[in-house]
Amino acid sequence: MPDIDLDSFRAETRAWLEENCPPEMRTPAASDDDQCWGGRKFTFQSEAQKLWLERMAAKGWTVPDWAPEYGGGGLSRAETRVLHQEMARIKARSPLSSFGIWMLGPALLKYGTEDQKREHLPPIARGEIRWCQGYSEPGAGSDLAGLQTRAVSATDEGGDYYIINGQKVWTSYADKADWIFCLVRTDPEAPKHKGISFILFDMDQPGVEPKPIRLISGSSPFCETFFTDARAEKKDLVYEENKGWDVAKYLLGHEREMISGMGHGGGGKTLPQMALDSVGVGAGGRLADPLMRAEIAMFEVRAAAYRAQAERFNDEWKAGRINPAVSSMMKYYGTELNKRRNELAMQAGGTGALEWESEESNGGKSARDWLRSKGNSIEGGTSEIQLNIVAKRVLELPG
């Protein structure tokens, strides 16, 4: 069915992108470091990167489907899809990578007050404030609701606030973030899920101390973050006190979706191509190593089928016809596939893939990606936790 309005929106969008997307921004970002993350401490890598963010933010197109009063473009679902299609057409990269957009934004839109939305969403949309997530603690991993970081009410001439003490871990980019959305215990007497609050606070204060964590893959965006009498204003409490677990669960759903999409279509060489380059072609134009070929072929079947499932999940999600717990299945399957892909990439690369620092190996990219991928099925809820959720909330198994 032709849609005149949508067609003209497409034409306008195409023309605008053509004129406003700098040529340097029409190639995929090479790594996390090559993306624009915004924030007070961020240094743009190029004038083009800065310009691209500013132009897109001015249109509200860093968050096209948010309302204009929150810094968004106010686009309909169909228009948002057209915008993404037109960006993909010219290979335009995303103007802004942001936990604010991916994670906090959806939670604030659902649970925030009007004042909170107006205060916090526009700086996210413009890339002015960079956020990090304070969830896990050394003693609260899979058992996230067992978290112990304490928030105690206090009042002074500045108003009502919380004094926060404790430690978070796996806080991605805590050393680069401006603000944190954080789960804290406000009622130690209540059952563990019922004494947690979801609070926002500025990281730029003496009581907040992030410390990067070195992983098996080398340096990482993860930090340990220590709070010593840190201050959070009461107006920045999201939803009600002791009801933070509801917000946390909602947000985890978004995080799982994000992680389940990792490692797909991310540019670079395909697995078969890596294998062909590495072990060569044998009889009948087939990969010279028949057992490796079989393993890769079987992986590719699952990867192709999962792409269809991701499309189906997305369509059903948008139509509101899916059990939200199915996102746990997506997270489980997507991350397990990504680990498998990296195992096969190492196998295909052979001894060449072992190099850790050489220029030829791009600083050990294969090996580091491989090791890093092992975290996919741990972060955002382990595979075992996802399987528990599917068993109970989808299959409705007892106990």
Least Å distance, CB 250 to another protein, is 22
Q: Are 380 and 259 in contact (CB under 8 A)?
A: yes
Answer for which of 332, 335, 370, 375 binds another protein (CB under 8 A) is 332
Nearest CA among 263, 275, 291 for reference residue 352: 275
Answer for which of 41, 91, 211, 312 binds another protein (CB under 8 A) is 312
Residue among 118 and 318 whose Cβ is closer to another protein = 318
Cβ neighbours of residue 371 under 8 Å, at least 6 residues apart? Answer: 215, 216, 217
Answer for which of 305, 323, 350, 354 binds another protein (CB under 8 A) is 305
**Count of residues engaged in binding another protein, rule: CB under 8 A:** 47
Map tokens 């921004």 to a residue: 25
DSSP-assigned letter for residue 1: -
Instruction: Give CA separation, 11 vs 15, 44, 52, 92, 248, in Å.
Output: 6, 30, 20, 16, 40
Q: Does 397 bind another protein (CB under 8 A)?
A: yes
Instruction: Give CA separation, 13 vs 3, 25, 59, 67, 337, in Å.
Output: 15, 16, 11, 18, 35
Residue among 88 and 308 whose Cβ is closer to another protein = 308
Q: Does 326 bind another protein (CB under 8 A)?
A: yes
Map tokens 């789960």 to a residue: 183
Least Å distance, CB 343 to another protein, is 18
Reported as type and span, the H/E element at residue 326 is: helix 326-349
Q: Is 47 part of the annotated catalytic residue set?
A: no
Q: Give the amino acid at 327.
A: S
Q: Does 259 bind another protein (CB under 8 A)?
A: no
Answer for which of 2, 191, 308, 360 binds another protein (CB under 8 A) is 308
Q: Does 311 bind another protein (CB under 8 A)?
A: yes
Pairing of strands 218-233, 237-238: unpaired
Q: Give the amino acid at 56.
A: M
Strand segments (E) across the chain: 131-134, 150-156, 159-169, 179-185, 196-202, 208-215, 218-233, 237-238
CA distance 187 to 30: 45
Of 199-238, which residues contact another protein (CB under 8 A)?
none
Range in contact with another protein (rule: CB under 8 A) among 48-56, 98-106, 161-169, 326-334: 326-334
Range in contact with another protein (rule: CB under 8 A) among 17-25, 127-135, 219-227, 268-276: 268-276
The helix/strand/coil state of 77 is: helix
Catalytic residue among 79, 86, 137, 255: 255
Q: Which residues pair with 74 in a beta bridge?
A: none
Q: Does 319 bind another protein (CB under 8 A)?
A: yes
Residue among 217 and 388 whose Cβ is closer to another protein = 388
Answer for which of 140, 223, 296, 345 binds another protein (CB under 8 A) is 296
Least Å distance, CB 10 to another protein, is 19
Of 35-94, which residues contact another protein (CB under 8 A)?
none
Least Å distance, CB 387 to another protein, is 4
Q: Tell the burial category of 327 from Cβ atoms under 10 Å away from its Cβ (0-12, 13-18, 19+).
A: buried
> Using alpha carbons only, what angle is made at residue 104 by residues 311 and 192, rounded to the nearest 5 degrees?
105
Please list the active-site residues. Answer: 255
| Site of interaction with another protein (CB under 8 A) | 270, 272-273, 275-276, 281, 285-287, 293-294, 296-298, 300-302, 304-306, 308-309, 311-313, 315-316, 318-319, 321, 326, 329, 332-333, 384, 386-388, 390-392, 394-399
